[in-house]
């Protein structure tokens, strides 16, 4: 089974290139997972955008620390199972952080987690949380494929979770830091891993935001204006996984970059 994993889609440039890429290539993938934490002007996602993304053939959308920034999304989080909040966050946030579906008689489980370190949204320890979750889902037993999107700030926490889950899930991929890392690989026990998928958006920016505003903040030492997404041409990034349906582990992975 071939799965496409995409990191944070940032603002209008990200939406434009994601739609273009999927129109050209959606037929090449069996299942598509996209992080939507920064879709709506850099902060969260709107109900209209949820509908748009689903119409493009996206199977699951993961969020992150900005998933509740657009307040009109609360009812959608409660009803749309394909839009995930981080599973290890407060039960006061509506919605679920785990999605199950069956494709070609294979059970696919997508788990969305939030990191603990330097994150504005409070989450339960993702390591102990996953220990409990894996009592329910066992790769090759009652789940054919298990994908984990770990939305975290600190690279070491992401790498540690990858090793912690090695051999127990199909893939662990990091999101949130918006810079693609070159360490995509298959770990010792067979799990695919990448510290961060990077963003889909305008890279002539500071992690998707207008560079002038961000530079002024660092030079002056304080905020002089609201962060605004960059509005130039976007770049598409994604990780393609080919998974052995018998073991649930990847047999190949390729990082995709396309400049529009």
Contacts by 186-193, CB closer than 8 A, 24 or more apart: 186/249, 186/250, 186/253, 187/162, 187/163, 190/166, 190/247, 190/249, 190/250, 191/162, 191/165, 191/166, 191/167, 191/249, 191/250, 192/239, 192/241, 192/249, 192/250, 192/253, 193/159, 193/162, 193/166
Q: Give me the CATH number covering residue 28.
A: 3.60.21.10
This prediction has a pTM of 0.96
Per-residue confidence (pLDDT) for residue 24, from 0 to 100 = 98
Per-residue confidence (pLDDT) for residue 224, from 0 to 100 = 72
Strand partners, 6: 34
Total domains present in the chain:
1
Per-residue confidence (pLDDT) for residue 121, from 0 to 100 = 84
Q: Which two tokens stand for residue 186?
A: 């298959």
Nearest Cα to Cα of residue 173 among 203, 197, 154:
197
Mean pLDDT for each consecutive 10-residue tract of the chain (260 residues)?
98 98 98 98 97 98 96 96 97 96 97 93 93 97 98 98 98 98 98 98 96 91 84 97 97 96
Q: Which two tokens stand for residue 225?
A: 């204006």
Per-residue confidence (pLDDT) for residue 140, from 0 to 100 = 94
Per-residue confidence (pLDDT) for residue 226, from 0 to 100 = 83
41 is annotated as an active-site residue: no
Per-residue DSSP letter, 56 = T
**Using an 8 Å Cβ cutoff, are 137 and 147 in contact?**
no
**Using an 8 Å Cβ cutoff, are 108 and 32 in contact?**
no
Q: Which domain holds residue 17?
A: 2-259
Active-site pick, 66, 112, 151, 176: 66
Distances (CA, A) of 103 to 83, 161, 252: 18, 27, 20
Per-residue confidence (pLDDT) for residue 10, from 0 to 100 = 98
């Amino acid at each position: 089974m071939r799965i496409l994993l995409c990191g944070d889609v940032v603002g209008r440039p990200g939406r434009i290139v994601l739609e273009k890429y999927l129109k050209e290539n959606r037929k090449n993938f069996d299942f598509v997972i996209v992080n939507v934490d920064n879709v709506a002007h850099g902060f969260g996602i709107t109900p209209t955008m949820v509908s748009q993304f689903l119409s493009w053939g996206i199977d699951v959308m993961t969020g992150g620390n900005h998933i509740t920034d657009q307040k009109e999304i609360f009812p959608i989080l409660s009803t749309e199972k394909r839009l995930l909040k981080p599973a290890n966050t407060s039960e006061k946030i509506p919605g679920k952080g785990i999605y199950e579906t069956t494709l070609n008689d294979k059970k696919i489980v997508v788990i969305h987690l939030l990191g603990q370190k330097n994150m504005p949204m409070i989450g339960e320890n993702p390591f102990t949380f996953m220990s409990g979750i894996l009592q329910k889902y066992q790769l090759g037993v009652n789940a054919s494929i298990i994908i984990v999107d770990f939305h975290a700030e600190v690279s070491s926490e992401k790498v540690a979770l990858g090793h912690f889950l090695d051999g127990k899930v199909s893939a662990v991929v990091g999101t949130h830091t918006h810079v693609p890392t070159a360490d995509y690989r298959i770990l010792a026990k067979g799990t695919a891993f990448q510290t961060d998928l990077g963003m889909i958006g305008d890279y002539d920016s500071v992690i998707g935001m207008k560079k002038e505003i961000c530079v002024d903040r660092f030079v002056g030492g304080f905020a002089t204006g609201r962060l605004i997404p960059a509005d130039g041409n976007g770049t598409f990034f994604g990780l393609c996984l080919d998974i052995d349906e018998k073991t649930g582990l990847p047999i190949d992975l390729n990082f995709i970059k396309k400049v529009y």
